[in-house]
Amino acid sequence: MEILEFNDELKFDEELILVLGYFDGLHRGHQSLFTEAKKIAAVLNLKIAVFTFPEKPTLTFNKFEPEMLLKLTSDEKRADLFAENGVDYLVFKDFTSNFAHQTSTEFAESVVKRFNPKVVITGFDYTTGSDMKNLKSTEDYRVVIMPEKADEHGKISSTRIRKAVEEGDIAQANELLGYSYETRGLVVHGFARGRQLGYPTANLVIKDYVHLPAVGVYTCDVIFAGERHRGFASIGYNDTFNGTEKTVEVHIFDFNGEIYGEKLTVLWLDKIRDMIKFDGIDQLIKQMKEDEQIARDFKA
């Protein structure tokens, strides 16, 4: 997959299938657009291009809050997901006020035609702030608007997934995503309390602007050095030790190596329990043994 910046020089000579959207998380609803794109691309023997934005369009319209920078996927993971969904050209453009004020006709002229599309695919709720829902088929290309994808609880959306992640309902988030929610972090030195308890942990610094699951203990898989390991992870404040700083700590089963400085990917599989303040170390160790068994028994 080729990643490009949209600018005045960008223009495709080959005919393409063009997919429009922001795609935070690239969840099951989004994936339906790419399933359709791949079907059409196979019939017409064309490549697939995506026109999207590096940040949420809401940053252009609403009063800024730091949480608005948080995403369901890191930039690297998002690119991986596009590639996995058959995208050949991933094209980014900053979402500016000037861009948002375009009419659908202006958007078609200034953006869509640059991709030389035979087919343009969007979701039913696609908009860039003006009247993008009025994007119409022309004699040069056909516009396909994909319907809402829903489950028994309603529309599958990034909003629902963010809420599930923030509430710790990782099983629900993963069901809506169609894959395991993940966080990437750098292993740094912590207080080494886990080692004293018989459960050495990798303390992670999260450098990406992604939503963290709610405080609690989780079954997880950990990927590093190309291998996948089962473990459990805690997100919290080390209440038993009167901690005040929020930490992400991962214990990897049957592993004793030193991995400081390594980059780990944590795949969040299911929540085990909320955080508890224990009266003593013995109670904490007993609970951790129970947590370990639950995590080992979990079938992903």
The residues assigned a catalytic role are 249
SS3 content of the chain, % helix, strand, coil (to 5): 30, 30, 40
Within 10 angstroms of residue 136's Cβ, the number of other Cβ atoms is 11
Calpha distance 211→235 (Å, rounded): 12
**Contact indicator for 204, 250 with CB cutoff of 8 Å:** yes
Nearest to 146 by CA among 23, 34, 16, 27: 34
Beta bridge partners of 222: 229, 266
- The two beta strands, 154-155 and 117-123, are unpaired
174 contacts: CB under 8 Å, gap ≥ 6: 180, 181, 268, 269
**E strand or H helix at 121:** strand 117-123
**Contact indicator for 217, 272 with CB cutoff of 8 Å:** yes
**E strand or H helix at 49:** strand 47-52
Within 10 angstroms of residue 290's Cβ, the number of other Cβ atoms is 11
The residue count of the chain comes to: 300
What are the φ and ψ backbone dihedral angles of 275, each rounded to 5 degrees?
A: -75, 145
**Contact indicator for 247, 203 with CB cutoff of 8 Å:** yes
- The two beta strands, 154-155 and 150-151, are antiparallel
Residue 196: strand, helix, or coil:
helix
